[in-house]
Amino acid sequence: MFSSLKAELSILITLSTAIAFVLAWHFLKWGWSGWIAMPLTLVVALGITYFFAHGLTAPLRQMRDAAEAMAAGDYTVRVESANDSRDEVGQLARSFNEMAGELQHADQMRRDMVANVSHELRTPVSALQALVENMADGVVEPTPANLEGILDQTHKLSDLIAFLLDMSRVEAGAASLEVEPFDFAEFIDDTVKPLEIADGGHGHTIHVDVPEHLRMEGDPNRLNQLFTNIIANALKHSPDGTEVLIETHENEERGTIVTNVVNYGSRIPEEARNDIFRRYVKGTGRPGTGSGGTGLGLSIARWAAGLHGGTVNVVPDPRGANFEIELPKYHSIDDD
């Protein structure tokens, strides 16, 4: 009934003491011996205290049982009495349930990611095995076209391995940076070109609006991960024939460079704008693309931005899904 455990305990102690006092007074008034009245009064007071304390500590016992179940690998357990209490124990129980939900989600997404990566690895490995076996048996000749096919499959394997390495770095929470000054417009052009080629026949138009001679400091390789994942995500979730806008401006007051990647073809619900950056959360992709990948791209993007002291967020925009990337223009050694 109360929002403070101290208040509940104080009332419980006061109630037990008052009842003990009244019982002792009546027992003595009735002429009972003190050797009988006092022990009986203490037993009644302890019984009342135990009865009410049992209810107060019920969430704690449930949390103990739930923790033991989670240690055994069962993340579906919850503290059922979490909503019955308003005090600190109830708040702890609700926080415990939220933690259990996060662990269950992470465990399920991890399982799905392993299954997805296994499936993605099997495809290029099977293709490579078939091509090499046919060449070894003399069924096909090692022509430039066939060798190009082998090279394409090895590139897919390399990309998957890079994803797994990025995942391990995200799990560790840190990585080293090789900071250097560079031209931001040239950097964006170099990032966009391979994405345009990979986009193939989907008919997307990437419009780039970046000021010339804008320079910043950072790790180009890490930032390439950041912008590649954000732009590729915009292309993946855009219907064929639509436009993706990349526009950049300098915030001189904050000393940052702000880039917005706007996808005109889709919307992100407000309640999902933070969840999409969680690890192993996958989107559905554009129609016909199958799954949304490994579910690590946006998580890696936010991680790479954080390494530079920057942020990546989805901001409201009537035009469509707008990913805003804000990075410090100059890198401070103290940030490492």
CATH number for the domain that contains residue 259: 3.30.565.10
* Residues 124, 259: Cα–Cα separation, whole Å: 35
- Answer whether 82's CB lies under 8 Å from 66's CB: no
Range of the domain at 124: 115-172
Judge whether 110 lies within some domain: no
On whether both 264 and 308 belong to a single domain, the answer is yes
On whether both 150 and 188 belong to a single domain, the answer is no
Judge whether 124 lies within some domain: yes
The answer on pLDDT for 160 being more than 50 is: yes
- Answer whether 283's CB lies under 8 Å from 233's CB: yes
116-119 contacts at long range (C-beta below 8 A, 24 or more positions apart):
116/282, 116/291, 116/293, 116/294, 116/295, 117/160, 117/163, 117/164, 117/294
Per-residue pLDDT at 290:
39
* Residues 327, 306: Cα–Cα separation, whole Å: 9
Name the domain count of the chain.
3
Element (H, E) at 268: none
- Specify which residues 182 forms β-bridges with: 216
| Coil/strand/helix, residue 208 | strand
Q: How does pLDDT run across 48-92, given as a tens digit for each residue?
A: 777 777 777 777 888 888 889 888 888 888 888 766 667 777 788
On whether both 237 and 253 belong to a single domain, the answer is yes
Per-residue pLDDT at 249:
95
On whether both 218 and 166 belong to a single domain, the answer is no
Judge whether 335 lies within some domain: no
On whether both 184 and 320 belong to a single domain, the answer is yes
Judge whether 333 lies within some domain: no
Judge whether 290 lies within some domain: yes
On whether both 275 and 197 belong to a single domain, the answer is yes
For the residues 211-225, what does the mean pLDDT come to?
Answer: 91
On whether both 166 and 186 belong to a single domain, the answer is no
Which domain-ending residue is among 102, 129, 152? 102
- Any idea which of 134-138, 277-281, 283-287, 332-336 has the lowest mean pLDDT? 283-287
On whether both 186 and 324 belong to a single domain, the answer is yes
Per-residue pLDDT at 291:
41
On whether both 33 and 131 belong to a single domain, the answer is no
Judge whether 107 lies within some domain: no
Here the CATH number for the domain that contains residue 162 is: 1.10.287.130
The answer on pLDDT for 97 being more than 60 is: yes
Three-class secondary structure assignment of 47-86: HHHHHHHHHHCHHHHHHHHHHHHHHCCCCCCCCHHHHHCC
Which domain-ending residue is among 150, 172, 194? 172
pTM over 0.75: no
Dihedral sign for Cα 333, 305, 224, 156, please: positive
Judge whether 206 lies within some domain: yes
pLDDT higher at 326 or 58: 326
Q: How does pLDDT run across 282-313, given as a tens digit for each residue?
A: 554 444 333 445 556 788 888 888 889 999 99
Per-residue pLDDT at 310:
93
- Answer whether 170's CB lies under 8 Å from 279's CB: yes
How many CB atoms are located within 10 Å of the residue 176 CB?
A: 10
On whether both 241 and 208 belong to a single domain, the answer is yes
For the residues 318-335, what does the mean pLDDT come to?
Answer: 83
Euclidean distance between the first and the last CA atom of the chain, given in angstroms as a whole number: 49
Per-residue pLDDT at 287:
42
On whether both 321 and 184 belong to a single domain, the answer is yes
Judge whether 61 lies within some domain: yes
On whether both 200 and 276 belong to a single domain, the answer is yes
Which domain-ending residue is among 124, 148, 172? 172
